Amino acid sequence: MKRFLIILSVFSPLYLLAQDSMAKKNAWSFSGYLKDLEWVRFEKGFTNVAATNLVHNRMNIKWNPVENWTARLEVRNRLYWGDDVRVLPGFTQQLRNENEAVNLSIKWFEAKSAILHTNVERLWLEYKKTKWNIRAGRQRINWGITNTWNPNDLFNSYNFLDFDYEERPGSDAVKGQYLVNDLSNVEIAVAGTGHRPVIAARYFTNYHKYDLQWNAGVYQSRFTAGFGWAGSIKDAGFKGEAQFYADQKNEISRLLLVLEGDYMFKNGWYLSSAFLYNEKGIDRPLNDWTQLKFQASPRSLMPAKWNILINTSREFSPVFSGSMNVVYSPGMNMLILFPAFRYNLKTNFDIDFVWQSFFAETARFDALSHTGFLRLRWSF
Amino acid sequence: MRFCVSLFWLLSISSLYGQTAREIVQAADSKMRGNTSQAQITIQTIRATWSREMTVKTWMKGTDLALILLQSPAKDKGIVYLKRKKEVWNWMPSLEKIIKLPPSMMSQSWMGTDFTNDDLVKESSVVNDYDHSIVGDTIIDDRNCYIIQMLPKPEAAVVWGKLLVCIDKKDFLELHTRFYDEDGSLVNTMNASDIKTMDGRLIPTRFEMIPAGKPNQKTVMVYKAVMFNRPLDDAFFTTEKMKILND
């Protein structure tokens, strides 16, 4: 931290952006956070308590030496200790993002119930001209347009239950963008994914108050094409995404579809609902819930075939807010309750309380597990 | 969120030398507006037991185009709001994602402050959407002011039932405003002070918004710098620009 500040003070401000005459830019910028997350997981009936702690640090460095060039390095350090490290199968393996082609992670140490892990989350260089730009390296290619589930996000899907990973994963890619006009652009990206590459193009435009996008490409050797939109019906937001994969493999989805609506009530309550159709998802109750995985890929954003999400949130005061997510998957008869509260203790210090409960049908509809999370965050 | 939109309202409060109520309001409105404006603003949210401060940069062109960049606190740094006519987008730098906001979001207060943001998207104009009449005189900070009553036109989509506006007779500065709801109850009071010359214009640089019936609660907005009428292309106000504003 100290070192970065010194670097920061050495470089004098640059004046960039001819139009932005008030801009006073630093060539370097540094930001990040330190979080402590403690969670307690209960099996159904509130038995078998498992407590785990995570110290989570992220450091973001941006370098913008001259107008056309930008570079970014973001590093995530995580120190886990506790019961989940010991008892959950594959806990340490899943710390590594399988979607990354190059392994830029280090396990500094690993014990029976503790691990310290560092991963380079972003590492890219960008060259930018007025009409086009090209970015190479580990980056996030965000093609999603809806809020929760993003079938159009071909390069770096994320699991919405993973609330502690705000930045979401990246991928190792080269991406070019051409600006057709003020509100339209074409992007072409190629990413290595550890398996087979993803190559795709997207056209984005704004027409009649609707953001519209089309994509097409090859996702791990299969042709894919998709469409997404974000607009409104009267005062409510209306968004959607659809993605189609042309192959006959039976076990993975050929079609994913998301419809989403949101509305802000006059009294300050925000309500959003989303529907996800995942063609090859599970549509019957499972016998063995231990096999259930929430690892997202573009072709499987949820384990279930039909999924409905209702989210409501409210800012009770400028420093205290809360939200409630309810996900129900009919067919599987699975229910997820996901409330969260945030209190801003003082500038740059937040405390979060989050709860996740899973219920599902086996012999009968019952709780699978409950997890309570308490998080402190210092942002810098 | 609420905050940004109101910010737009305040920024749009508007010089001509007419003497009708409408012309006086128009003069005050254009004083703070300009064809384009760029500003650096500090916003303090004050409550009985705590206060929080944030800094923002704003770029505006006419009433249709606006950009707001949050510069502090650390957690929100780099967040951008873009308004083009009635559409509003939000750039979340941590997610590197653009989120289109529902139009209903605009009728809310912004980021917990005492400003409402209706006027950002609803495009209500203090000049065109109201009928104006001079109802009296007063003195604020040794300045003689007109008291002007503004009643919304029947067809205007505005959030207020009535506004009482005090505008300085000499320099056309809007120094005090009372916002009433449709039932005639006082909702907010705005006081403007710290009159300074910025970018060659004499303007108030400190605005306080005080909600009625909530003691010890207010929002204070202070202009640290402002520039008017510098050229800004329409292309500056695009979703692509949002992504690189903080670079």
State phi, psi for B30 to the nearest 5 degrees: -75, -20
Cα separations (Å) of B200 from A159, B196, B225? 53, 9, 12
pLDDT given at position B15:
35
CB contact residues (below 8 A), chain B span 223-242, against chain A: 225, 227, 230-236, 238-240
Number of structural domains in chain B: 1
Residues from chain A that touch B77, judged by Cβ atoms under 8 A, are 31
- pLDDT tens sequence across A180-216: 998 999 999 999 977 789 999 999 999 999 999 999 9
Residues from chain B that touch A315, judged by Cβ atoms under 8 A, are 112
Does the structure show a pLDDT above 60 at B226? yes
Q: Which two tokens stand for residue B42?
A: 């500090």
Q: Which domain holds residue B224?
A: 2-244
**With an 8 Å Cβ cutoff, are A231 and B100 in contact?**
yes
Q: Which domain holds residue A218?
A: 2-379
Its ipTM equals 0.88
Q: Which residues contact B188 (CB under 8 A, 6 or more apart)?
A: B114, B116, B178, B179, B209, B210, B211, B212
Separation between Cα atoms, residue B110 and residue B114, nearest integer Å? 8
Mind telling me how many Å the CA of A128 is from chain B's nearest CA?
Answer: 10
Residues from chain B that touch A234, judged by Cβ atoms under 8 A, are 103
- pLDDT tens sequence across A62-107: 999 888 999 999 999 999 999 999 998 888 888 988 888 899 999 9
For residue B117, which amino acid is it? N
Number of structural domains in chain A: 1
- pLDDT grade for B16, boundaries at 50, 70 and 90: very low
Burial A240-253, CB ≥16 within 10 A → b, else e: bbbbbbeeeeeeeb
Which CATH number do you get for residue B132? 2.50.20.10
Does the structure show a pLDDT above 70 at B8? no
- pLDDT tens sequence across A297-313: 888 889 999 999 999 99
Cis check: omega of the bond before B73, within 30 degrees of 0? yes
User: What is the arithmetic mean of pLDDT over A272-283?
Assistant: 93
Q: Kindly report the pTM of this predicted structure.
A: 0.87
Pairing of strands A28-43, B80-84: unpaired
Q: Which residues contact A111 (CB under 8 A, 6 or more apart)?
A: none
Mind telling me how many Å the CA of B45 is from chain A's nearest CA?
Answer: 8
Residues from chain B that touch A20, judged by Cβ atoms under 8 A, are 38, 59, 236, 245
Cα separations (Å) of A244 from A253, A301, B195? 8, 14, 60
